[in-house]
Amino acid sequence: MTAPVSSWVTRWAHLVPVGGNVLDVGAGSGRHSAFFAGRGHPVTALDRDASSLAAVSLFARTLVADLEQAPWPLPGESFDAVVVTNYLWRPLFPSLLEALAPGGVLLYETFAQGNETVGRPSRPDFLLARGELLQLAQGLRIVAFEDGFLTQPERFVQRIAAVREHPAGRPQRFGLEPSASAGRSLESLGSEDHE
């Protein structure tokens, strides 16, 4: 049975530009690839396990690559969203950021220190240090960040939603709640308190 789509990904998916192309890193069986394809996004699913990606090829471009032993397989390509869940390979961070187009969204969620007290992964190599995703996203606009404990299943996680702003022009507007703020900017949401 395929795991459900991450609630973090679904919560912040509205930040991805309409029709924007999505890179699903460590896609596995493709739960997030299927989610974004279902929302009308072209998706590239990247994983080292060809058998996991077999079903994903029905709705996404697939690329089999060992990200820990080979060079970045998508040099020069950029994406409107880069999605990573339950995967951590620190040398990959610069490539993930380079792959993020202006206006693009980084949605990242994985295990954090403390997880060794409740299960696997437990090795420090696979657990984010305190605030590590904030360091990764330096230079991006942080829309949301969480670092803490979740239940069902019990796990310690860090997760971030961050946007690479356009280099010039009017600032982008990021709604914090897709249903309540559709079409409204953070500026307009905040200004209501001062009227």
Distance between CA 152 and CA 140 in Å, rounded? 31
Which pLDDT score is estimated for 10? 96
Distance CA 29, CA 17 (A): 24
For residue 116, give both structure tokens.
Answer: 């060794």
DSSP codes, 45-102: EEES-HHHHTGGGGTSEEEE--TTTS--S-TT--EEEEEEES---GGGHHHHHHTEEE
| Class (C level, CATH) for 7-164 | alpha beta
pLDDT tens-place string over residues 78-101: 999 999 999 989 999 999 999 999
Alpha helices in the chain (DSSP H): 7-12, 31-38, 50-53, 93-98, 132-136, 186-191
pLDDT tens-digit profile of 21-60?
999 999 999 999 999 999 999 999 999 999 999 989 999 9
**According to the model, what pLDDT value does residue 1 have?**
43
pLDDT of residue 182: 41
Range in 89-98, 146-155, 173-182 with the lowest mean pLDDT: 173-182
Domain borders along the chain are 7-164
Instruction: Check: CB of residue 63 under 8 Å from CB of residue 74.
Output: yes
* Banded pLDDT at 192 (limits 50, 70, 90): very low
Q: What are phi and psi of 58, to 5 degrees?
A: -70, -25
pLDDT at 162 (0 to 100): 96
Residue 16 has pLDDT above 90, yes or no: yes
Residue 160 has pLDDT above 80, yes or no: yes
